[in-house]
Amino acid sequence: MCKSALTGHPSFGSEHVRALKPYLAGRQISAVAREFELDEAQIIKLASNENPLGMPIIARRAIEALAESGSAEYPDPDAYELKMSLKESFQVPHSWLTVGNGSSELLDIIVKAFVQNGQSVVVSQYAFSAYLLSILGVNARPIIVPALDFGHNLDAMLDAIEPDTKLIFIANPNNPTGTFHAPDQIRRFIERTPEDIVVVLDEAYAEYLADGQQSDIADLIGRYRNLIVVRTFSKIYALAGLRIGFAIAQEHLSELINKVRLPFNTSAYAQAAATAALADRDFVVQSRVENRMGLEQLYRGFDQMGLPYLRSFGNFVLVNVGDASEVFAKLLKYGVIVRPVANYELPNWLRVSVGLKDQNRRFLKILASIVMQDSIVKHEFKGASSCRN
């Protein structure tokens, strides 16, 4: 029996599971309110790349209608209605679609379906951290390829493939860096990938891209037998709380993903809201426009403070604030929740989700006061030490 060296008690769980570092989610408004004795209404959460416009009205109506029916039935395990809408939207057959409990569930079960203990998966440095959790969760081996200008180094990722590589993750746009590769670069990458390796193209933020930057999913999937595109309703569609996303891949891959999917993985409410939200093109366009304006507002604010930042293709931006854990803690006290990214080995950066205009303004004002105070303190300290010298 294996015993812990510290306690002498037996150790539970597989060794690779015990070694996992749990996913660090953004702080919840209610938790911050409790900790700092703040009024929840005054807290701004710019920490989880949610859509600040809130759920589209049409989705809310769909949920209300379902609640009214008082049904106690299990949801449709095949999410038929939603798949019919997705089929129409993307011009793909029903058999190419899998619906998941958020796209993170799909990313996780894709690893389960295609990768075994000890095999390798290629990912980029700074890529969405949930990939590592899924890879390590099946005791597979991540091959982490150094980033290029904070984005994926696609050539180096191809060079990093090993004989036991089964899967490659590409986040496009990437979270947390906001970097992006144009559709033709992605195409060239897939073309050069060996056909027996599955490429997962995670497009959680794709709807925030301009029309010319979006991939033609039907054409891409039709061409490549080893490609899976994963999308979510959590971001632009503003349904993060309901947990729903989808994957598109040719039938031979979709079949395998569906084999490891639990039967009732998405709720009836999530399916109904997603079906409704998908039809609301105006909401998507409005969200995209507001996001662009919000990004520009944040860039202007950071420019005024002289803070370096990365221009982003998503609904969030990485900004270099120096000691990010200290600035994060100070922002929390003022009721502003952002996301430190030290877990990505970016200890000087904060990821800030784009909020509504007033939220961005308040955040920038508070950040400016913190940054100014810090520079005054540092200046005084420098002065003091130079006096001593």
Query: What is the smallest separation between the CB atom of 172 and ligand PLP, expressed in angstroms?
Result: 9
Of 17-25, 99-107, 261-269, 350-358: span binding ligand PLP (CB under 6 A)? 99-107
How many residues belong to the site for ligand PLP (CB under 6 A)?
Answer: 13
Of 96-104, 219-227, 247-255, 264-272: span binding ligand PLP (CB under 6 A)? 96-104
Nearer to ligand PLP, 85 or 175 (CB): 175
Nearer to ligand PLP, 313 or 334 (CB): 313
Query: What is the smallest separation between the CB atom of 167 and ligand PLP, expressed in angstroms?
Result: 15
Query: What is the smallest separation between the CB atom of 204 and ligand PLP, expressed in angstroms?
Result: 4
- Give the HSE-up count for residue 39: Cα atoms under 13 Å, Cβ half-sphere: 2
Query: What is the smallest separation between the CB atom of 3 and ligand PLP, expressed in angstroms?
Result: 37
Of 98-106, 178-186, 285-293, 371-379: span binding ligand PLP (CB under 6 A)? 98-106
Residue 110 CB coordination number (10 Å) = 27
How far apart are alpha carbons 268 and 275 in whole angstroms?
Answer: 11
Helix H, strand E, coil C: the string for the chain is CCECCCCCCECCCCHHHHCCCCCCCCCCHHHHHHHHCCCHHHCEECCCCCCCCCCCHHHHHHHHHHHHHCCCCCCCCCCHHHHHHHHHHHCCCHHHEEEECHHHHHHHHHHHHHCCCCCEEEEECCCCCHHHHHHHHCCCEEEEECCECCECCHHHHHHCCCCCEEEEEEECCCCCCCCCCCHHHHHHHHHHCCCCCEEEEECCCHHHCCHHHCCCHHHHHHHCCCEEEEEECCCCCCCHHHCCEEEEECHHHHHHHHHHCCCCCCCHHHHHHHHHHHCCHHHHHHHHHHHHHHHHHHHHHHHHHCCCECCCCCCEEEEECCCHHHHHHHHHHCCEECEECHHHCCCCEEEEECCCHHHHHHHHHHHHHHHHHHHHHHHHHHHHHHHHC
* Backbone torsion region of residue 168, taken as left when φ is above 0, otherwise alpha when ψ lies between -120 and 50, otherwise beta: beta
Residues 51, 85, 98, 104: which binds ligand PLP (CB under 6 A)?
Answer: 104
Site string for ligand PLP, 122-141 (x = CB under 6 A): ------x-------------
Nearer to ligand PLP, 138 or 204 (CB): 204
Query: What is the smallest separation between the CB atom of 366 and ligand PLP, expressed in angstroms?
Result: 24
Nearer to ligand PLP, 229 or 370 (CB): 229
Site string for ligand PLP, 191-210 (x = CB under 6 A): -----------x-x------
Q: In this structure, is the dihedral angle defined by the CA atoms of residues 126, 286, 241 and 355, taken in order, positive or negative?
A: positive
Site string for ligand PLP, 354-383 (x = CB under 6 A): ------------------------------
Residues 52, 56, 75, 102: which binds ligand PLP (CB under 6 A)?
Answer: 102
Nearer to ligand PLP, 291 or 330 (CB): 291
Of 101-109, 156-164, 345-353, 367-375: span binding ligand PLP (CB under 6 A)? 101-109
Of 57-65, 78-86, 102-110, 346-354: span binding ligand PLP (CB under 6 A)? 102-110
Residues 175, 193, 258, 353: which binds ligand PLP (CB under 6 A)?
Answer: 175
Considering the rule CB under 6 A, would residue 103 count as an interface residue with ligand PLP?
yes
Query: What is the smallest separation between the CB atom of 261 and ligand PLP, expressed in angstroms?
Result: 14
Restricted to residues 24-83, the positions that interact with ligand PLP (CB under 6 A) are 49
* Backbone torsion region of residue 243, taken as left when φ is above 0, otherwise alpha when ψ lies between -120 and 50, otherwise beta: left
Residues 171, 228, 256, 341: which binds ligand PLP (CB under 6 A)?
Answer: 171
Site string for ligand PLP, 221-260 (x = CB under 6 A): -----------x-x-----x----x---------------
Binding positions for ligand PLP, rule: CB under 6 A: 49, 102-104, 128, 171, 175, 202, 204, 232, 234, 240, 245
